Amino acid sequence: MSVQSKLWALGRCSPFCAWRAYKNISEWLHQLSIYPLARSTRYPSTTLLHRTTPRLQFTMLAHILLAAVTASLASAHFILQWPETAGFIDDSEPDSPCGGATVYVHSSSPQIQVDQFAISIMSTHPEGEWQFRATTDTQPPYNFTDAVPVVNTTGIGSFCLPFMSVPAEFAGKGGVIQVIDNSIDGNLYQVCHRGFT
């Protein structure tokens, strides 16, 4: 199995499965560092370990680090990149309505315009069904309003929605933007606090 196919498999499994795959890749790379064994011509019954060059050692280290990063992303669901999340807690992402984050809305919250702002997300799932909602309520239960209709995505990676908006009556108030991903792992939540102008 090639390194690429092993790394591809990392992104498609549970955190335990990703850890197991990472261990398998590490062992496989370790085997590369000591094989092939070279037979001694002077003493045919003994073997000498093949010494690796610094370049090969660097390449192996790069592959191991790539596997480790991929394994950590395999456990992440999605990351709200912009506006910045109120707090990313991977294990609490399924907890409604804020994904485990504590939201503090105050006068110094970063400002966005009600008529147009962008949202950027990095998803680690092959498919997503996204809801983008907002509210000016600062205490539960939040009364969220849909900002746009449901957005469907395919593919792992980052995407940006540059033309988001909220109702004009939000202007001059602080509030919360909520992002919900209805993915293969169920509903996942992240929020950010913002002032609307």
Domains and CATH numbers, the chain: 3-75 (no CATH), 78-196 (2.70.50.50)
How many Cβ atoms are within 10 Å of 23's Cβ, its own excluded? 12
Looking at residue 36, its pLDDT comes to 44
- Under a CB-based contact definition with an 8 Å cutoff, are residues 119 and 108 in contact? no
Angle between the N-to-C axes of helices 15-34 and 54-75, in degrees from 0 to 180, rounded to the nearest 10 = 170
- Res 168: pLDDT: 92
This prediction's pTM: 0.61
pLDDT of amino acid 188: 92
Lookup: tokens for 151: 């957005």
- Under DSSP, the state recorded for 180 is E
Positions of E strands within the chain: 38-39, 47-48, 78-82, 111-112, 117-123, 127-135, 145-146, 151-154, 157-164, 174-183, 186-196
Return averaged pLDDT per consecutive 10 residues of the chain, 197 residues in all: 43 49 58 47 48 63 64 64 85 87 79 92 90 87 89 90 92 91 88 88
CA angle 174, 178, 180 (to 5 degrees): 175
Angle at 108 between CA 105 and CA 114, to 5 degrees: 70
The amino acid present at 111, given as its one-letter code, is: Q
Calpha distance 167→88 (Å, rounded): 26
Q: Which two tokens stand for residue 133?
A: 């909602």
Q: Identify the pLDDT of residue 2.
A: 45
